[in-house]
Every structure is written in structure tokens, then in C-alpha cells.
Structure 1
Amino acid sequence: MKRAVLGLLAALSWTSGAAQEVAFGYVEWPEAVVKTHVVASVVEALGYETTMHSLSLPLVFRGVATGDLDVFVEVWLPSMESMITPYLEEGTVTMSARNLEGTLYRSAVPTYVYEAGVTSLADLAAHAGAFGRRYYGIEPGNDGNEIMRRAIETDTYGLSGWQLVESSEQGMLQMVERATSRGDWIVFSGWRPHWMNNAFDIAYLDDPEDIWGGEGFVATVANTRFLEENPNLARLLAQFRISLEDQGAWIDGYGRQNRDPAEVARTWLEANLQTVTRWAEGVTTAAGEPAAAALEAAFAGEGD
């Protein structure tokens, strides 16, 4: 399977000069899926072709660095810092913008566990038996998984001997739902914005060793050569910003309501044309015409 994915990356390369097709990479997180559809829809409205490719997080970063992919809009920082920094430092990848502020990604427990005295990662070891010495993460290669894997391997917080249970976002949340319905103890990777914060009564653990980093943001990154050769799209990506409420609505619509991500994206675009137009200030279509008219034609609806 890994060999097949690497073969896909090799087949995605773009030619020199201004792009007529933009290759977006994404990971199968609801927020990443819908956000990629939103940006790709705007790019298409400007007259470009787009493709979207679902890969593991390490392969997305590698693809953007090599130019096999052009754009990734869901870099969570500071938790992904160790994964993206080498590419930023070598100059193959550039951070276009911070597209979302005020995010949080760290270990969480049900509130009844928090109220029983587990308020910090430093409290886990003393209650290892109640947790079954298991920590629940999402897909292999995810930054949160790697943070907790290193903590286990280095015995940070006395976690040596614990098991990191990797599955998927849906799989992890199913385990959270099962545990909370029974009053069992569970510790897992939580983040906001996300519908889990409304569906489950959870609390985030203190992190005195700062292995997760503090409150964060989400960034857009792109292949450096792509940005240099496509200043029009570079300007669009630099101006793309959303709110916590917007991203939360996208996650709920796709991740919880199981609506089609393209439908979730289009419904939002039609209702927020003024916001979309602000992203495109000073941007033109692929043919060199002002962007505003093209966006209005594509997303005319009852807007903000």
C-alpha cells in the first residue's frame, strides 16, 4: 500500500510555469476534507483545474516539498512543528498564512475523570490501572500520536509501558462514546474546534512538560516553487482565513451529520460570498479578469 501511495505522488508532478491545475493534499480529518473542498472550489471558480489527494500526513508534507502536491491547508501548530520545520528550513515549503487562530490540540479525558483528580498528564501514571495503560489516538503518522509515542518511549510523565492505540478519528471517538456511556476511564487526543466538545463532556489535561505546546493555529503551506510561479494563487492563499465558528460548522456538517463535503463547502460559500470575495482582493481569474465577478457567478446565493 505504501509503495502504491508513493507511486501516486510520483504521478502528480506539475510542469514549470504558471499552473493550470492545482493539486491539493489532505488528510481524512473532517476539517481538512471540507476546508480543502472550500479552497479548491474557489480556485476552480477562478478558472483553474484542481485535484484533491487523500494521503497520510507524512506523505502530504513530502508531496508538497517535492512539488508532487501544491497546497495543504490544515497544518496544526505547534503540534506539527517537528514534522513541517525541516521542509520550511530547506526552503521547499513555504507557510502562506495562518488561516485559523485559537485552536487547541492535546490530551483529554471525560469530565468525570477530571473531577476524580486526573487534571494533568502528570496524573496518568498514578491511575494507570484505571486507564488500562492505554492512550487512544487517531491515524498512524498523526502528530498527536507521535507526541504521545515519544512520551511513552522516554517515560515522560511515567508513561513507560503504556500502549498507544492507533485507529482513526472515527474509531477513537467511538471508543470515547463507548467509555463515557459506561462511565469507564479513557484518555485520548482531543482538539477544538470539533463537535466532540459538544457531544461529550470532556476536559483537557494540563501539560507541565509542554510536550503538546500551547494554544495554537492552523496554517496553509504550499510548495515554494509553486508560489513563485503562481503569484496570483499565492495572493489568494495568503489571504485565506476563517473563524473557529466556520471550521466548527464544517466539521459538524461533514463529520457528524455525514453530509457530502462538497455540499457542505458549497452551501457555506454561497452563504458567505463577501468573505470569499475578501480572500480574492487583488486576485484575478486564470484568464486575467477580476476575481469578484467570477466568484459571484459561481456562488451567487443568499450571503453575508
Structure 2
Amino acid sequence: MEWKSLLGGTALALVAAQAGWADGEACGKVRIADGGWTDIAFTNATAELLLGALGYESEQTLLGLDVTYVSLQNDQIDVFQGNWRPVQDEQYKSYFDNKHVEVLGTNLAGAKYTLAVPDYVAAAGVTSFGDLAAHAAEFDRRIYGIEPGTNQMLIDMIAADRHGLGDWKVVESSEAGMLAQVARAVEKKEWIVFLGWAPHPMNVNYDITYLSGGDIEFGPDLGSATVWTLSRPGYAAECPNAAKLFANLTYDIDFENHGMQRIMGDGESPPDAARAMIAAEPARLDKWLDGVTTLAGEPALPAVRAALGL
């Protein structure tokens, strides 16, 4: 896949934003995909908070991953902050090859995404994908996943009988449903294998071990990942200022872990968590708003600081 060619048109459009070209009225409402995950709930809330301060309206729509890509292609959604790579690369390769989506930039580096078990299960000898089949009875031949459309790599793994798991089942529910199952298992010291990832408060709330050996399914280094921000085709050319904001919106593991903990552990709403994290680290605004204006074309940083009371 030629990422340079995908980025070329976007880069040119972002030059327009840096030159101070305000977006037109048609760009005033930004349609954002919500994948139903707490990390994207937090990053989307952060984006919405900034967009509102800049004079934009925004609308989030809860969509499965498959529908998200179709919606970007069909001009029903403008932006998606949840393109995890390499785990989504093969399944959605055609969207990039056919230019049905565009890349705005990387929003998170150092993430990971693969199967995990509680530490007491790892201590009993399960530290890799290859160890699972020997303990099928303890796991009840079940792998706990999240939303349908997000677990395809596991479904394909079972269909191909990789790692001897051909008679296993992926339990699809939601992030919250999966974590509730993990919490019940950990409380009773029962065996469970589930999708784990960072950033996420699960890494703080539970003692877990990520399984090695899942390179085919999730990529090397325990599913080491970067998260990219995508847009519908032509968005950066049509709305360069909003696209520039999303290109600037980069996070880190620690920032997202704490923001997600506010939502999942402290019960804050995503907007309240985003506001609290920005208030705690206001220096991030300098980078996020570099080369960005309000919808009306005024300087962004003072407008956002005033709107957020900073």
C-alpha cells in the first residue's frame, strides 16, 4: 500500500489551512464515527470540545467497524479516529487502495492490541496463543471479544484452525460486556482469555498478561499498533481547517489511560473527562491548534482558551 500517495492530497489541503483559509459554511457540521470503544469516546469528546469552541457543530454516530468504512466511502461520515494498524490493514485494504478513505494522520503511537489473560492464568502456563488449545476445558473454548465487526481476525483464526482453535467460539458483545465478564472471572479466579489493548484502564485495574504468538492475527510485538485518523474522500480539500485540527490531534498512552479511567472508573461523561484532561494539560492546545482557525477565520488558541475558561 502506497501511504505516501494517500497522504499527498491531504498534505496539500492542509497547507491551505496553515495559510489561514477558513472553512466554508458547509463544513460547519462535522460528522464523527463512534466505534463504541471508550478510547474513541474520549478522543471524540476531546475533538468535539475543541470543535465547539471553534464554532463548529459536531455529531457522533455509533457504528460498527464495517459500517464505519462504508459510511466514510459514501459521504455519510466525515472523520474516524479509530483506524488501528496493522490489525485493520488487511480487512479494509481495499478502502485505501481504491481511495475510498483518506488518511489525516497518526493520533496515537505505542498502542497494543492482542489476546490477554489474567496473570494467574499466565502463571499456570498460558503465555502464548499456542498454549490455549491445551487448556480448552478451562477456557470453555471461548474467547471474549467486543463489538461485532471488530473481532474478524479472531473469527478468521478459528475458521482456519490456527493454533488448534478450530472448535473454539468468539463471544461477541461490547467493550463493556467483555470487561464485565473479565471482572467476574477475576473475582472468582476463573480462567478467561479476551481481547486486551492499551491504552485502556484494564491495564491499571487488572493484572493481565498479553499473549505472544499472535503475529498472524494482530502483528508482531504483542500487537504493537498505531492509531490513525481517517476521513471521507475529499474532506481535507473541502474543509481544510477542520481536517488540520484532526491531523494535529495526537495523544499518548498515559493521556488516554487517565482520560479513560475518568470515564470508566470515576463515572465521568466523556465530555467532562475531556474537559478535565485538557484543563490538567493545557499546553497540549499549542500543538493541537497550530495552524488552525475558528470557523470564522479568527485565531484558534485564544478562542478555545476563552471557551474552556483556561
Number of the residue aligned with 1:146? 152
**Which AA in structure 2 matches 1:157?**
H
Number of the residue aligned with 1:249? 258
**Which AA in structure 2 matches 1:221?**
L
| Structure 1 residue 39 displacement after superposition | 0.5
Write the distance in 1 (CA, Å) between the matches of 2:274 and 2:219. 30
Does 2:274 correspond to 1:268?
Answer: no
Number of the residue aligned with 1:46? 54
**Which AA in structure 1 matches 2:160?**
T
| Structure 1 residue 270 displacement after superposition | 2.8
| Structure 1 residue 181 displacement after superposition | 1.8
Question: RMSD over aligned Cα, in angstroms?
Answer: 1.6
**Which AA in structure 2 matches 1:62?**
V
Does 2:226 correspond to 1:220?
Answer: no
Q: TM (normalized to structure 1)?
A: 0.89
| Structure 1 residue 209 displacement after superposition | 4.6
| Structure 1 residue 236 displacement after superposition | 1.5
| Structure 1 residue 208 displacement after superposition | 5.3
Larger mean CA deviation between 152-161 and 110-119 belongs to 110-119
Residues 170-200 of structure 1 deviation map (CA, whole Å, 9 limit, x = unaligned):
1111211222222221111111111111211
Number of the residue aligned with 1:33? 41
Number of the residue aligned with 1:93? 101
Pair 209,102 (structure 1): closer, same or farther in 2 beyond 3 Å:
closer
Which residue, out of 187, 191, 212, partners 1:185?
191
Number of the residue aligned with 1:204? 210
Q: TM (normalized to structure 2)?
A: 0.87
Q: How does 1:3-18 map to 2 (within 5 A)?
A: 18=26
Task: Answer whether contact 1:26 1:32 (CA < 8 A) is retained.
Answer: yes
**Which AA in structure 2 matches 1:139?**
E
Task: Look up the SS of the partner of 1:210 in the other structure.
Answer: helix
**Which AA in structure 2 matches 1:152?**
I
| Structure 1 residue 216 displacement after superposition | 0.8
Write the distance in 2 (CA, Å) between the matches of 1:295 and 1:253. 22
Number of the residue aligned with 1:57? 65
Task: Look up the SS of the partner of 1:64 in the other structure.
Answer: helix
| Structure 1 residue 272 displacement after superposition | 2.8
Number of the residue aligned with 2:134? 126
Which residue, out of 292, 295, 301, partners 1:286?
295
Uncovered stretches (5+) of structure 2, i.e. residues with no partner: 1-23
Does 2:120 correspond to 1:112?
Answer: yes
| Structure 1 residue 82 displacement after superposition | 2.5
Number of the residue aligned with 1:239? 248
Residues 20-52 of structure 1 deviation map (CA, whole Å, 9 limit, x = unaligned):
111111111111112101111111211111111
Number of the residue aligned with 1:11? none
Task: Answer whether contact 1:30 1:250 (CA < 8 A) is retained.
Answer: no
Larger mean CA deviation between 183-192 and 17-26 belongs to 17-26
| Structure 1 residue 210 displacement after superposition | 2.8
**Which AA in structure 2 matches 1:218?**
V
Write the distance in 2 (CA, Å) between the matches of 1:97 and 1:84. 17
Larger mean CA deviation between 206-215 and 170-179 belongs to 206-215
Residues 116-162 of structure 1 deviation map (CA, whole Å, 9 limit, x = unaligned):
111110111111111111111111111xx211111111000010111
Number of the residue aligned with 1:21? 29
Write the distance in 2 (CA, Å) between the matches of 1:181 and 1:89. 46
**Which AA in structure 2 matches 1:167?**
S
Uncovered stretches (5+) of structure 1, i.e. residues with no partner: 1-15
Residues 87-126 of structure 1 deviation map (CA, whole Å, 9 limit, x = unaligned):
1211121111111110010001111111111111011111
Which residue, out of 180, 193, 201, partners 1:174?
180
Write the distance in 1 (CA, Å) between the matches of 2:304 and 2:132. 51
